[in-house]
A and B are shown apart, each in its own frame.
Chain A
Amino acid sequence: MRVAEYIKCNRLYFDGGMGTMLQKAGLETGGLPEVYNIEHPDVVLDIHREYVKAGADVITANTFQASELKISSSGYTVEEIITAGVDLAKKSGAKYTAIDIGPLGQLMEPMGTMTFDEAYDVFKRQIVAGYKAGADIVLLETMSDLLEVKAAVLAVRENTDLPVFVTMTFQDDGRTFVGCDPKSAAITLSGLKVDALGVNCSLGPVELMSVIDELIKYSRVPVMVQPNAGLPSIENGNTVYTITADEFSDCMVKIAESGAAILGGCCGTTPEFISKMKRKTVDVPFILPEYERVTAVSSGTNTVIMDNGISVIGERINPTGKKKLKEKLREQDFGYLVGEALQQQKAGADILDVNCGLPEIDEAKTLANAVKEIQAAVNTPLQLDSSDRTAIEAGIRKYNGKPIINSVNGKQESMDDVFPIAQKYGAVVIGLCLDEGGIPETAEGRYKIAERIVKEAEKYDIPKEDIIIDCLVLTASAQQSLVIETINAIKLVKSRLGVKTVLGVSNVSFGLPARPILNSVFLSASFGAGLDSAIINPMSEEVMQSVRAFKVINNQDRDAVEYIENYSGYKTVSGSVNKNEGSGDVKAADVSGGDLKSMIIDGRKELVGTKTREMLKNTDPVSIIDGEFIPALDVVGERYEKGTVFLPQLIQSAEAVKSGFEVIKETMPKNSSGSDGSGKGKIVLATVEGDIHDIGKNIVRMLLENYGYDVIDLGKDVPIDKVVEAAVSNNVKLVGLSALMTTTVKNMKDTITALRSAGSNAKVVVGGAVLNEEYVEFVGADYYGRDARATVKVANEIFNNA
């Protein structure tokens, strides 16, 4: 029987630890265990055979770190090591053999340097080698990062027909090293349709109980458990494990009873552990527990269960009608999107909609990059919003977790496009109640479409809890009599279909005054009809008031904690409503006396914006920049050079100028290049390939921008050709490069060499902790930028702005 069928009705037993046994057999610390497959095959085979004798159904090949990243130094290829390893596992006489794949040992972008596609390729090579060697199962184990796992699972699915089992490693705080919790793992991996999911390593069976319970509760597939032999502890400078085979096997009985279907051991376990575990659990009746049928979306570290109450989906990352966002998308500057995401999260959004649809840009590429940057900054799950199926697929492929897809509709073509993507990657899908005939006028008509969408989804094995219906809002100023039909449709969809619902409310008030009033009342009415989630602007206080109030009414905000936190200082002031006293805005009167220069010198960020706005009434922007900003920064810069102020004070003044610039940018008409019009010159900045320390470079960027330069910031770990391309295509006169490690100074040199040979005439200024004047010559640069201030001086010299 194939293993995928076998586990549906039988408990499956894996083997136990390999590393500790190899060390007993002579493997030196830090040595590559996988080399034993070729150099000491008998040792490996003996261990496998002992586990078969102990009762293991599956033997895990000795291939844990046989990736090209880890074994390149061994003198053997990935294929040689894996083929030998799988052969030994098969030779042991086991019922099934698994190719074993551990984490790559590199963090994924943007926290680390590993790209999704690189991870995919590395895994693919291992997986294909194991497949060709005849393994029955791909086991991905000791995993921390769901995104890395996703790359591996897709590599299995797209290159083999093998079943894939995934176990994650949770620490004593109930999370993996990168912050993944069991709920998010169970929901995301179930969505990816792995064949089994679970937990291994790090902790013993006792400590893992709560993690296992959580996995069983939310997993749609069998749960696998391979604990260590208790907690590791350091004794005499060596790691030892603390429980006996008897204690271990007793705990495993409880774990089997709770519904774990696949059992085995990890570090510190031996054939004795497996043998005792099997003997004691073999008579425990086999059950596959019912999982919770909830509508859940996850990021890599956080899950929102929509059955627990109403959810807010933040709508602000959508370029429609937003000039600044459009501009940032065109420039591929994702820092702004990240800022919007952080703000919405802080304001109370549970989920964030991300839409990058602009006709003049590559939407698929942009959405994928936006997803990458935003998901590294916030922990709210994302909702991928596009009408283009390629964009949806590009985004979801690199999404860490289980997202919402926005959206599908009742047209057959739309469902044919979107459902296969949701099926493959796992997603909750928003279904819009419209079809070829448009939006039906009646609630009954919209319900019919919702029903069709849910039925069609079933064909793809997408259960109804993974569908959210949007009954669609019509505009009160145009079709007033139909507005109530939306509310009626929500009731029908909830009662007859039992699926979740969502609405984007702001359409209702289009063309009418005081839109927030209408929006929030309509939202309240919809919540009353059973609406589960709303796509709204969480920065809009009126709308959030309705949300927070309703959360008290439906008993979601227990003890009204959130409500009290937000409104304890609530006051109604002469017709206008204020959330709390003392907001950050400073009244113009407060700053009229002071002068802008000293505000900047003193780093009074909160005053500078207001003062700049006031001055703009009768001063042109260029005069403010040249007559106030820059002279003030020069004063602080000189003090910094003399050592009378230190870096935080320089940054403080720079932040102050930044807030002044933001006011200028808001009020100034854009010129064609999208710059703020100060036009001091264009500079490319990058932290070189291989280097990811970039806070220094970011401080330099801020100060350069303060002086009116257009900075094209390529970020960190920037490939050489990207620097060259940016410098040449923008024809810049100055390139700034930073490196913080002796190991990456070479990449700096190579980048500069490549710039020169590409014919760029740009001057190059370099900086970073390990650099000094002498390095300037070594790397072939023109200037040394010791700090942000020095770099500004270099720029001023080159652009004659001194």
Chain B
Amino acid sequence: MREITFVEAVREALSQEMRQNEDVFMLGEDIGVYGGAFGVSRGMIEEFGKERIRNTPISEAAISGAAVGAALTGMRPIVELQFSDFITIAMDNLVNQAAKIRYMYGGKGSVPMVLRTPAGSGTGAAAQHSQSLEAWVAHVPGLKVVQPSTASDAKGLLKAAIDDNNPVIFYEHKLLYKTSEHVPEEQYSIPLGQADVKRSGKDVSIIATGIMVHRALEAAEELEKEGVEVEVVDPRTLVPLDTETIINSVKKTGRVIIAHEAVKRGGFGGEIASTIVESEAFDFLDAPIKRFGAASVPIPYNPTLEKATVPSADDLSAAAREVVSYAKQEV
């Protein structure tokens, strides 16, 4: 079976779609000959030409505005932002235009664009190039938010994002780019709003997004040796959110840990926790919900501090140990 990296899976999804859909094109900074900041579009300008792999000036406002306009004319633009931190500059186009137009024009116009962007810390890129701001966009009705954690998910979810008639913000974690796994060669789509149970277990659910899915799986591996069965649920898309899968998992285990790399305060984990306690899963909770996110500080440049700022696999396994220690059910 073929194994490819996350970067390759994203490129494959883009290329396969562009080969069969003339309306799809890419725009972004240095995505042409240079191949993009993380090499995602490497080789694509040779195949698709500079009309469809468009290098832009260094202006996220201009790029996003051009994409919204192109989408309104019926094109299916894919924006690449070099770093997701710069979404702040694209925000007006995303929040006030892309997210609202279809609604305000009664469906007469739509904005079928995708904004792909690398997020997260761990590369020593410091405070302005390491953030995880997905909660910002998840807050805005009209935007869909995707956070794949694996190469194969990324390929299928990107296809679904391109096919979607609404603006989709597609987060790619920098540390995941080099991870590889089996990815089917043919084109496929993973519906937005479908969580994936990455590992099944009965003792405690870890609801994790992006890079945290891998830290949760590490923790699960560790705890398996201690006889604790951890279930790892990856929502994959924050908007729409697959509440059913999350609730069912909690009903099964009764204990919940939520983990994301974004700052815990105001993070999407709070949304997930509230969703659980508001649901019928409430009656199944047998321990307080534990929530993990980054400390409320800018991501430090110092590598040791950078690592310490965000949740680790050890943090998650310690928390899992704690919640199962309360009156562990004898089987």
**Binding between chains A and B:** no
